[in-house]
A and B are shown apart, each in its own frame.
Chain A
Amino acid sequence: MDAPDVNTPGAATRYTDTPARYYVIYACLLVLAGLQFFIATLHLDTSAMFTRMLLVAIVEAGLAVMFFMHLWAEKRGWFLFVVVFTVFVMLAMQYGWTDSNRMETGAPYTLKTGAAQQ
């Protein structure tokens, strides 16, 4: 793992990675982006397509955050803070999905009648 030089306050962090690594990550990101476009051409239902695209996007984002933004090379305390806090906030936003399904399927309430289904 790259070690940042934080010994000089105010200076930019120095990483030991090389341009070759940048090109490899860039190529991976291009391939993954291409994979998303390929998935869009498959005749999948929306749910299956969404799941596949989300997985690819998460891998892409992980590569970008870890190596382009150098989070992987930061101190462990900062790395954990960013990852744990961000993931927690993202997950906390997912509580409303059951209600959007209710709008679509009408269970337990339906927009069409406005009445509770028994």
Chain B
Amino acid sequence: MSAELTLEAHAAHHPPGMIEGLPPFVVPAKKMAMWLFIIADAATFAGCLVAYGFLRNGTPNWPRPFESMTNAALMTFILLTSSLTMLLGVRAAKASDRPAAFRWTMITTLLGIVFAALHIREWLELIHQGITLSSNPWGSPHFGAAFFSITGLHLLHVTGGVIVLLIVGLGYNAGRRNAEDMEVTGLYWHFVDLVWMFVVPFVYLLNMAQ
């Protein structure tokens, strides 16, 4: 199929629903696959957060161990900023500005690494205070399980995102990846940011010491 062929011209020669090579909803196949993954992953995170809310709502002595908002605020700022740099990277890739796209993607990767490092440092502090998956010094043992499960799942997504950003960014710079790959990677990275918008208030801010 010629790259110059428009959808309309293509459709004129094929009956609806019989067009080979054209994905449903007129969304490119890679992007559609990523959106479907995002919907499924959103359901996974929503399931975790609902289960956490269920436990928290049903547990009278739920602990509120967080003394300071500084770390959560810093992590939020870093992740939001990384979404902006990802957008700029994708935009540069679409404009075929390879050096700029590579630069913004690597900045995004660096921000992701800083976020993960802050997260791991926080985990180590909490583990040092006695929180495990099955116990903690303050009350309901469910707290440790819920906290580490939800933030761990998110951290896993960030780590995976950083690896994919490196692969796609380097591949794009070397000419092995195209702008569509950058766009699809960007979708995933924005989703990781989006999930954090729900994790912070429910897992951190609602558990601030009062």
Q: Chain A contact residues (Cβ within 8 angstroms of B): what range?
A: 35 or more
Q: Is the interface of B mostly helix, strand, loop or mixed?
A: helix
- A77-B25, A81-B25 known; A14-B205 Cβ under 8 A: no
Q: Give the number of A-B contacts (CB < 8 Å).
A: 160
Q: Which of A12, A56, A99 gathers most chain B CB within 10 Å?
A: A12
Partner of A22, one of B60, B84, B178, B179: B84
Choose from A7, A68, A85, A100 the contact partner of B83 (Cβ within 8 Å). A68
A30 close to B205 (CB less than 8 A): no
Q: How many residues of B are in contact with the other chain, CB < 8 A?
A: 62
Report B-chain residues with C-beta under 8 Å of the C-beta of A19.
88, 91
Name B1-37 residues within 8 Å CB distance of A: 1, 3-7, 21-22, 25-28, 31-32, 35
Complex CA–CA separation, A13 to B180 (angstroms): 7
Pairwise interchain contact A30-B58, C-beta atoms closer than 8 A = no
Give Cα A33 to B46, complex, Å. 19
Q: Which residues of B contact A (CB under 8 A)?
A: 1, 3-7, 21-22, 25-28, 31-32, 35, 39, 42-43, 46-47, 50, 53-55, 57-60, 69, 72-73, 76-77, 80-81, 83-84, 87-88, 90-91, 93-94, 178-180, 182-183, 187, 190-191, 193-194, 197-198, 200-202, 205-206, 208, 210
